[in-house]
Structure 1
Amino acid sequence: MSFFILSGFVLAWSARDGDDPVRFWRRRLARVYPVHVVTVAAALLLALQLIPGLIPTVEAATANCLLVHSWVPVAEYDQSLNPVSWSLACEAFFYLAFPLLFRLTRRLRARWLWAVAAASTAIVLLAPLFLEPRVVYFFPPVRLAEFALGVALARLVRLGAWRGVGYPIALAVTAMGYATAAVFSPGPFRYAACTVVGFGLLIVAGAVSGLDGRPSLVRHPLMVRLGELSCAFYMVHILVIRTGEYVWARHPQPGVFPALGLTVLAGGISLALSWALHEWVERPGRRLMLRGA
């Protein structure tokens, strides 16, 4: 998942020397928790009203609310309530590890950062050979390798030790990774192994492009705005889809064009809800949680 590499890169890129870990954890919690709480409540309401089979156990629901549910790699926990929130539970694990991880990598010279990047990539590539698919996909200690790769790449760029390979090669490697995942790779290798190198190259290419001040589509105001809404969109989209599946269950299977129309409709509803969540939940919730910090 490119998001885990990007998360490690961004946090290491923007980290402040001497930053207090408690303040760091508070900032990160304020970033994700307000939307998580609201979408958990929405998922529970959806389960109670529409899909009783999705009602979790008290233990699983509690773990979900505390963002530790993917730390138990069984479906009853990691897919409870809002299924996509498993990745937030991984991020919570990464946030706990980041102060120590950053302190260690900040002291490393380039050759040792390369070693960290190589070891992290090797773990991503080899994990599907030795671990159960659910562990490879959901378990935070395994996904930590992608996060650590992002941290190491950020430090290499910060030190001026590497400027990447540029967008064309990065895009080509990423495309080959996707093609390999789609055509040749068994399931567990599709999760991250096939695309980890390409995504790492793309993230570095984007960072170097920004440092050089080159024009980039990702810095367009519209893209920046969509980036601001991305967390809320991610958290709400599966709830919209599940509601749509329930509503449409009594209708015949749609054809290609009606299905495309329903997909666009679901995307539009998710985008509208993500704007509302960002403006009325995420931003005020963050301000409230950071008050006095």
Structure 2
Amino acid sequence: MTATRADLPSLTGMRWAAAFLVFCLHIVVTSMLSPVAAGSKIATLLFSAGDVGVSFFFVLSGFVLMWSARPGDSPLRFWRRRLARVYPVHLVTALLAVLLGVTLGQLVRPDNFYGVPSIGSFLANVFLVHSWIPGQNQSLNTVSWTLACEAFFYLTFPVWGLLVRRLQTRGTTVFALVSVVLVVLPAVAQPSLSFLQSFPAARLGEFTLGVALARLVALGSWRGPRLEIAVAVMLISYFLVPVWPGQYGYSVATLVGIGVLIPAAAVADLREDPSFWRSRTMVRLGELSFAFYMIHLMVIRVARRVFPALVQRGSTAELFVVAGIFAVSLGLAWVLYEYVETPCRRFLTRPRRKQRELVPA
């Protein structure tokens, strides 16, 4: 099989599954469900490892960026496109977090609501460096710590892309193995250090693993299992997460699962094998997944703050509350996608005047 830079819609669909896992995790950890209700116990069993969705995003990011890398592209053009892709939604949700803190008031931990940030905290978050600063990684829109990691990945990608593009199968395999070591080492050396979960340098190995996997697929050298088997491996590794100690262990426990799932989905698309993930519905949800990820925790916290009497009311009531939170989050994600993410991306990536003048009539 000769790989080309084809679209890989199954990976877009899988982005939704990862975002939904994180949503379910936050429903559990924010105590939206009664701890004695059957639904809560089932949700805890199924979604307590939902952080896996973040690991999936990091590996997928490296894969997609390497797969779609443009020959001769300059770092500045690349950074401009990535900034246009993620920054508008980040800025809007950061400002929304400030607005919530001002209007609904400060609530100290463990209630975990939004407060009014200091100037330093606000600037660190807006410029996506807050995950490097102890005590600031959860500032403003809490989930934006992953964007601070992604910003670091984007900053370094021109180096990794240039390096890996020069490697053939053996060299790329070695690069992938080194990436695996970079993921495993922090969890083994200091499993109790929770800051590793959001520290950008500690998460770099997941991103570079994705870069290597994309190169192997592009070379036609991927020899992993088919998509159905890869999904099964991913599910098994997902439920092994509680076995690994430490807050960062989920990245290690699911490394094999994620590492075979993403290339398997890509190969399935290239071969046009059947794939549930590239259905129209899944792809559309995948397009909304970034905005959904960025807004969902705000909706959960506002629901707890504004409607405390609806929280932990028993399994039936809880299901309606969670369904409502999900619907509102998805609706707001659509608004962000249609009126912030898409138009801003088009505006920020439009050809400059000199580029337009070079296009023949």
Q: Does 1:175 align with 2:175?
A: no
Whole-angstrom CA distance in 1 between matches of 2:327 and 2:284? 15
Q: How does 1:281-292 map to 2 (within 5 A)?
A: 281-292=340-351
TM-score where L is the length of structure 1? 0.95
User: Residue 71 of structure 2 is aligned with which of 17, 32, 46?
Assistant: 17
Whole-angstrom CA distance in 2 between matches of 1:252 and 1:169? 39
Q: Deviations over 1:183-239 (max 9, x none)?
A: x22233433111011011000110000010112112111111111111100000001
Aligned residues: 290
Identity, in percent, stands at 49
Whole-angstrom CA distance in 1 between matches of 2:94 and 2:248? 30
Deviation, structure 1 residue 28: 0.3
Deviation, structure 1 residue 140: 0.8
Instruction: Tell me the equivalent position of 1:27.
Output: 81
Instruction: Tell me the equivalent position of 2:207.
Output: 147
User: Residue 71 of structure 1 is aligned with which of 132, 136, 144?
Assistant: 132
Q: Does 1:199 align with 2:253?
A: no
Are the counterparts in 2 of residues 34 and 281 from structure 1 also a CA contact under 8 Å?
A: yes
Whole-angstrom CA distance in 1 between matches of 2:347 and 2:315? 46
Whole-angstrom CA distance in 1 between matches of 2:120 and 2:271? 50
Are the counterparts in 2 of residues 69 and 89 from structure 1 also a CA contact under 8 Å?
A: yes
Whole-angstrom CA distance in 1 between matches of 2:182 and 2:221? 23
Q: Deviations over 1:111-136 (max 9, x none)?
A: 11111111111221221122453332
Are the counterparts in 1 of residues 197 and 248 from structure 2 also a CA contact under 8 Å?
A: no
Deviates more, 1:52-61 or 1:220-229: 52-61
Q: What amino acid maps onto 2:268 in structure 1?
A: S
Instruction: Tell me the equivalent position of 1:62.
Output: 123
Q: Which has the higher helix share?
A: 1
Q: 1:229 to 1:251 in 2, by over 3 A?
A: closer
Are the counterparts in 2 of residues 6 and 147 from structure 1 also a CA contact under 8 Å?
A: yes
Extract unaligned runs of 5+ from structure 2.
Answer: 1-54, 108-114, 353-361
Q: Deviations over 1:155-208 (max 9, x none)?
A: 0110011142112332232222222213x2223343311101101100011000
Q: What amino acid maps onto 1:172 in structure 2?
A: A
SS of equivalent to 2:70: coil
Whole-angstrom CA distance in 1 between matches of 2:249 and 2:350? 42
Deviation, structure 1 residue 252: 6.5
Q: What amino acid maps onto 2:130 in structure 1?
A: H
Instruction: Tell me the equivalent position of 1:243.
Output: 302
Deviation, structure 1 residue 251: 5.3
Which aligned segments of 4 or more residues in structure 1 are displaced greater than 6 angstroms?
none
Deviation, structure 1 residue 68: 1.2
Whole-angstrom CA distance in 2 between matches of 1:55 and 1:187? 31
Whole-angstrom CA distance in 2 between matches of 1:33 and 1:105? 27
Whole-angstrom CA distance in 2 between matches of 1:290 and 1:58? 30
Deviation, structure 1 residue 250: 4.7
Q: How does 1:58-137 map to 2 (within 5 A)?
A: 58-72=119-133, 74-75=134-135, 77-131=136-190, 133-137=193-197
Deviation, structure 1 residue 82: 0.3
SS of equivalent to 1:80: coil
Deviates more, 1:50-59 or 1:221-230: 50-59
Extract unaligned runs of 5+ from structure 1.
Answer: none
Q: What amino acid maps onto 2:123 in structure 1?
A: T
Q: What amino acid maps onto 1:133 in structure 2?
A: L
SS of equivalent to 1:78: coil
Whole-angstrom CA distance in 2 between matches of 1:67 and 1:13? 25
